[in-house]
Structure 1
Amino acid sequence: MDSEDERLVKVILRYREELQKKIRERKIEMESDNNDHYILYSALGFTNEEGYQIDFQQNVGRFLYKYAGSLVEELAIKCFKLVHPDAQEKVKLPNTIDQSPKTVEIDCLIGKRAIELKWKDATTDGDHIKKEHKRVRIIQKAGYTPIRIMFFEPNRDQAIRIQAKLKELYSDLGGEYYSGEKAWEYLKNDTGIDLKSILERNGK
């Protein structure tokens, strides 16, 4: 394993340890929870034990989604910065279109490339398009090329349609949009680092 891989694996292991710690802490907290709502679970055909497992796994799921997104974002930024030492992360630009929000954030800025990183985006909120349209316009107006990299594609029809609209939006504004395998390929082609393979090799 080369030094670049080692640095990335350390990030993976750190996130794994932090997530497991968070889950253990929540499990202890839940021991003193008020579970009066189980009467509704029971009325709907679930035992108290099943109700507990549902609540516990819901907590685990929320933590897992948060950590999964943060992990792949940090890893991707680290990949870019290993190859582009001048790359900047979490760059804020002033909103030059209206008053809200006051700023927009670029996950990773490499020269004129303003990269937005997503592990996945399953939103079905129509306002999401408007907000993203504004964000991309602000970035473009500042002289940057907006690039969206989303590593996993949504499964539901409405979310898929929204992503198709976002892809069209990026294209219309002179940006670039990569999702699924094309996102992994973009990262690999730019950095020479096969992050997807590293994740696969270091899974349980």
Structure 2
Amino acid sequence: MADKYATNLKARVDERVAEMESDDNSHYLIYRVLGIATEEGRLIDVYQNKGRFLYKYAGSFLEEAAKLCFLETFPESGSVRIPNTIGQRPKTFEIDCLVEERDAIEIKWRDATTDGDHITKEHTRMQNVRNAGYKPIRIMFYYPNREQAKRIQKTLETLYAGVDGEYHYGDDAWNYIKNYTGVDLLATLETIAKERTQA
């Protein structure tokens, strides 16, 4: 799975960087006005595009890897959609991994949002999960660095506790996966990362 994601990421990045060769770069004028040399501006644009793909693929990879840990131990677990019985939008909510028709696990690699609407949506999602008869559980591997994003996560943690759910992040998230499934996902990823960076 790591090979597939790495190959796909490289292909998308290479394709986008090639496309950028023919981009209109007239906006570099404004970069120069702000003291950014043309070559530095070009590199910033390239890395900004690479970063978008990297974040997307990193998140998808880690979320899929975590789901596989649950599927390995609980073959009947998997993603499930439940109707939104409280609000109009969205029409349904996805449970990333429903284990033994009891634990509704949401998996996030990181969540750096600072949007207050995010709290409302998550609260509605949690209420729907609880109303469907499941226990809402959130796993987030990497906690945000910015204060406003941290405040959002603290609020979400309180909301999960308020519906008798669970919220695991950072080291606790890795340990939760290991204790729940018996799969040491962190050690596996560290081994793969070491092999790739030494190659």
Using structure 1 for the length normalisation, give the TM-score.
0.93
Q: Which runs of 5+ in 1 are unaligned?
A: 1-10
User: How much has 1:194 moved relative to structure 2?
Assistant: 1.0
User: How much has 1:127 moved relative to structure 2?
Assistant: 1.1
Look up the SS of the partner of 2:108 in the other structure: strand
Q: Which residue of 1 aligns with 2:147?
A: 157
Corresponding residue to 1:107 among 88, 96, 104: 96
Q: How do 1:67-106 and structure 2 match up within 5 A?
A: 67-89=57-79, 91-106=80-95
1:128 and 1:24 map into 2 onto residues whose CA distance is 33
Identity of counterpart residues, as a percentage?
A: 54
Cα RMSD for the two superposed structures: 0.7
Counterpart code for 1:98: G
User: How much has 1:87 moved relative to structure 2?
Assistant: 0.5
1:127 and 1:99 map into 2 onto residues whose CA distance is 15
2:78 and 2:106 map into 1 onto residues whose CA distance is 12
Q: How do 1:125-164 and structure 2 match up within 5 A?
A: 125-164=115-154
- Provide the aligned length of Structure 1 versus Structure 2: 193
Moved over 3 A (4+): none
Using structure 2 for the length normalisation, give the TM-score.
0.95
1:96 and 1:85 map into 2 onto residues whose CA distance is 28
